[in-house]
Chain A
Amino acid sequence: MVCEKCNKRPATVHVTKILNDKKTELYLCEQCAKQSEQIPFETSFSINNFLTGILDSIQDSAIKVDYIKTTKCDHCGMTYGKFKQLGRLGCVQCYHAFEEKLTTLIKRIQGNESHIGKIPKRAGGSIRIRNEIKELKSRLDKAIKTEAFEEAVVLRDKIRERENQLNGNNEEVM
C-alpha cells in the first residue's frame, strides 16, 4: 500500500481517528505521519511516556497511532488519553474502566498478574470471609441438588453467620 498523502512511499503508519463519533482511517508513510499536524508526536521522553508507550505497542501492528482517547472513567473523569499522557490513573475505579488495556500492560511491566504478599488486616479480613461464603454457597448448591437437606440447613446457617460477620465488619469500617 502507498502512502495516502505523498503517494510515493509505502504506508507504514495506520492512523485511526475518532472524533465526535466519526471514524477516519489513514494509511501514511512515517515521514508524512510525522509532518501531519493532526498527529501530535510526543517529543519528551519521560518514564511515564515510556510506560504508556507500551500501551500502544500491545496492539498488533508495529506503529499505530490510536485515538480512542475518549474512553472515560465515570468515577473521576480520567480519560484514556489523559492516562496515556500522565502515566497515572485517577482513582481506584480507573482500574475497571481501563481494565482491558491495563491487564495486558500490568502483565508486561510486572511479569505477573496477581498479588502475593501482604493483605491488609481489615480489607483482607472481609476478603477471606467473602471467599469462604463463595465456597459455602457452592457446597449448598450441591447439597440441594443431591437432596441432602439436613446438610443444606447447616450450610445455610453458616452462610448467614458469615454474612452477618461481614456486615458487622463493614459497620466497624465505616
Chain B
Amino acid sequence: MAKWIEQCGPDKDIIISSRIRVARNLDEFPFPVALTKAKSKAVFESVTNAINESVLTHDFEGVLLQEVDPLERQVLVEKHLISPNLAQNYEKGAAFLNKDESISIMINEEDHIRIQCLLPGFQLDEAWDMAEKMDDILEEHVKYAFDEKLGYLTSCPTNIGTGIRASVMIHLPALTMTGYMNRILQAASQIGLAVRGIYGEGTEFIGNVFQISNQLTLGRSEKDIIGNLKDVTRQIIQKERDARSTLLSNNGVQLEDKIYRSFGILSHARILTSQECMKLLSDVRLGIDTGILKDIYVDNMNEIMVMMQPAYLQKIARKSLSSQERDIRRASLVREKLGNKKEDE
C-alpha cells in the first residue's frame, strides 16, 4: 500500500494527505498534446535514462501504461498515484513509482514530467523537499523548457512559472454539517486557492473530503505558494476543530446518534454503493477522530477508503465485477474491516 494510505501523519484527524506536484517539460519535444506515439516513447526513454544514470536507479520502477492491465491502471488512480487524465490517455503515458509509493512521476500527462510527492497528514514542506530533490536529480540529465521571464514552460498557461501545485486532502465533516463550507469555498477562491473533489479537477465532493490547492503558479516563489496554502489550511483545521467541539457540546447526542447509525449500517449492510459508503465512512471517521467510537476496533480508515473503490475491489476479487456484485463485495469488505477480526489478504 502507498505510504499516505498506510501510515499516519501530523494532524491526521483532519488532514488525510499532503501533495506537491511539479510540472516540467523537456526542451526538445513538443508538449504531450502535440506528441506522436513514437516521440512520447522517446520522452519516456529520456526520463528512464535520467533515472538510470542517477542515484535513483534502484528506487524507481517505470512502466508504460499501455502495458499495464486496465484494472491496475484504475487502481493507480484510486490510490492517487496517477491522474484520471493519464489513465485515460494511457497510450502515450507512463509512470515511475518509488517503493513506498510516496513519489510518482507521471510521463506525458498534460506535461512531459509531473513529479508528485504524496505524504500522509499535514506535511507540505516535507513533500516539497522531496519534490525539489527529485527535480534537481532529473535536471542533471535532461534539459528542461525554461524561459527567463515565464519560468518553467507548461502546456497550459495556468501552470506556468513554478509549475507547482500544492494540495491537501482534508476531511471537513463538522464544517459541512454546520453549513460553513460554502463560506470557506468562497474565501479560499478569493485568495487564490481552489477547492475541488478528491480526484482533482472536475470531480465532485464525496464524503466531506476536499482537496485544497493553489491556483496561481507565476510571480511568487515555491515557498510563498506553499506557505500561503499552509497558513490557510491551518486556519481551516482550527475552524473544523472548533466546529467539532461545538457540535459535541451543543448537539452531542445527535452527533453520537448519527455516527452510531452510520457505523451500524456499515457494519451490517449487505449491499453498499460507493457513494453511500463514502458518506457513511465520513461519519465513522469523525466518530473515531472525536473519540465517540472509542470502544470499536476500526482498521485503517484510509485503507478502507481506497480498497472499497471499484477497481480495487475487482483487483482483490481477481476478476471483473458488475456494479451489483461490487456493491455486495464492498459491503462484505467494510464489514470485515470494521469488525473485530482482522483477516489478511
In contact, B148 and A113 (Cβ under 8 angstroms): no
Given A90-B33, A114-B219, A117-B162, the answer on whether A123 and B144 have CB atoms closer than 8 Å is: yes
Contact yes or no, B139 A122, CB < 8 A: yes
Instruction: Give the chain A neighbours of B161 by CB distance below 8 A.
Output: 110, 112, 115-117
Q: Does A116 lie within 8 Å of B136, measured CB to CB?
A: no
Prevailing SS type, chain B contact patch? loop
A91: chain B residues within 8 A (beta carbon): 29-31, 34
For the complex, give the distance between the alpha carbons of A47 and B279 in Å.
27
Residues of A within 8 A of B151 (CB): 115, 117-118
Q: A interface, how many residues as a size bin?
A: 35 or more
CB contacts (< 8 Å) of B110 on chain A: these are: 88
Most chain B CB atoms below 10 A, which of A89, A110, A112, A121: A110
Chain A residues, CB < 8 A from B150 = 95, 106, 114-115
Name the residue among A92, A105, A119, A123 with the largest chain B CB count within 10 angstroms.
Answer: A92
A77 and chain B: residue at smallest CB distance? B34
In B19-44, the 8 Å CB interface with A consists of 25, 27, 29-31, 33-34
A105 to chain B, nearest CB (A): 6
Question: In the complex, how many residues of chain B place their beta carbon closer than 8 angstroms to a beta carbon of chain A?
Answer: 42
Measured CB to CB, the nearest residue on chain A to B147 is A95
Query: In the complex, which residues of chain B have a beta carbon less than 8 angstroms from the beta carbon of A106?
Result: 150, 157, 160, 218
| Cβ of A78 under 8 Å from chain B | yes
Q: Given the known A-B contacts A89-B155, A110-B216, are A117 and B33 also in contact in the complex, defined by CB atoms under 8 Å? A: no
Please report the C-alpha to C-alpha distance between residue A102 and residue B221 in the assembled complex, in whole angstroms.
Answer: 21
Interface string of A73-91 (1 = CB under 8 A from B): 0011110000000111111
Name A's B-contacting residues (CB within 8 A).
Answer: 46-48, 51, 75-78, 86-92, 95, 102, 105-106, 109-124, 127, 173
- Given A91-B31, A115-B151, 10 new contacts (CB under 8 A): A86-B33, A89-B155, A90-B33, A114-B150, A115-B147, A117-B162, A118-B162, A118-B221, A121-B139, A123-B143
Give 3 closest A-B pairs by Cβ, nearest first.
Answer: A112-B219, A115-B151, A90-B34
